[in-house]
Amino acid sequence: MFSALLTCCLALNVLCQTVDYDVCMARAGLVDLSTLGPGIKIDLKYATTDNFTGKNMYGNFLRAYLVKPAAQALLKALKQLQSVDPNYGFIVYDAARPISVQRTMWNAVRGTAGRRYVASPRRGGPHNYGVAVDISLTYKGVPVDMGTPFDTFTADAHITAEQYLVKKGRISQQAMKNRQLLRKVLTENGFLTYSREWWHYEFMRASKARRHYSLLNF
């Protein structure tokens, strides 16, 4: 217990000297989403090489966290989803993100078209305040078709012209329906969309999060 406490130094912005993300997230008051029940599967893509950087940026950090109100809203969304069909569930690809990881991402897209998809680490984005989640649907535990993989930085991942994407054969009709179901249960429980990424949802915008929560400054 004592050694764990040494890994995380609490200040206003939760400053960590030797980073243990789980300890720091818990000390910041965030909720471990794996504790919400078996309907939520965790697959942190930035703890693998299966992401736009091609690098593991989380090391052995494998848990997903959100601030308590966002976690509670996600649980309500799960219950609504499973009222449609109990075989449905969520899979979380990313959630609360330390600002140190945000800097790594920012550097990875420097000078590329992907830069517009990554929040500047100067002030941090919603992930860096624990109010954003990258999420998809599962059916009987298997991820469903969403038209593109996670971290696809093309117009095919946008949510603004899905009928057009279906018409052009760029995503399937079923993929559009899956996106719409995900969008319905999340937005009806307080989450906000991001037009360029079907997987990204925010419980509040970064400007509001900065007024209510501390930056995950580790």
Map out the domains of the chain as residue ranges: 21-212
* Nearest Cα residue to 176 out of 144, 201, 150: 144
The pLDDT of 168-184, averaged and rounded, is: 98
DSSP structure class, residue 90: E
The pLDDT of residue 4:
40
pLDDT band at 18 (very low <50, low <70, confident <90, very high): low
Looking only at Cα atoms, what is the longest distance across the chain?
Answer: 59
Burial (0-12, 13-18, 19+ Cβ within 10 Å), 43? middle
Q: Residue 134: phi, psi to the nearest 5?
A: -100, 120
pTM of the entire structure? 0.90
What the block records as the tokens of 12 is 């206003």
CATH topology (fold) of 21-212: Muramoyl-pentapeptide Carboxypeptidase; domain 2 (3.30.1380)
d(C-alpha 160, C-alpha 77), whole Å: 22
> Can you spell out the DSSP letters for 112-160?
SGGGGGS--TTT--GGGGT-EEEEEEEETTEEPP-SS-TT--SGGG-SS
The pLDDT of 120-124, averaged and rounded, is: 91
d(C-alpha 72, C-alpha 147), whole Å: 28
pLDDT band at 6 (very low <50, low <70, confident <90, very high): very low
E strands, the chain, in order: 31-32, 40-42, 65-66, 88-94, 132-139, 142-143, 192-193, 200-202
Vertex 36: Cα angle to 33 and 37 (nearest 5): 120
